[in-house]
Amino acid sequence: MNTVSVDILNPKAFALLKGLEKLNMISIENGKRVQKKENNLMNLIGAFRDEITEKPLSMEEITAEVESVRHERYVANK
């Protein structure tokens, strides 16, 4: 499935698209529903960000964690 955004300049083009929708060849979502989905996603992301109370890991902490996981995998695969 591919998703595209189209600006319809001619009402006849919209009629053609509605015809394709009736044939179950395409699905049309109006802009309000798409915008609502985008707003819901942004609200969800904002909620996750609000829950973060710890400061981000430093590069040294990230490196140490990666090295630890690599070591565990190496030991497990011997």
Q: Angle 58-62-65 (CA atoms, 0-180°, nearest 5)?
A: 140
Q: Among 10-19, 39-48, 64-73, where is mean pLDDT lowest? A: 39-48
> End-to-end alpha-carbon separation of the chain, Å?
43
Asked whether residue 77 carries a pLDDT value surpassing 90, the answer given is no
Looking at every residue in the chain, the average pLDDT score rounds to 87
Phi/psi for 52 (5° steps) reads -75, 120
Q: Are 8 and 17 in contact (CB under 8 A)?
A: yes
Is the pTM higher than 0.75? The answer reads no
Cα distance between residue 18 and residue 24, in whole Å: 10
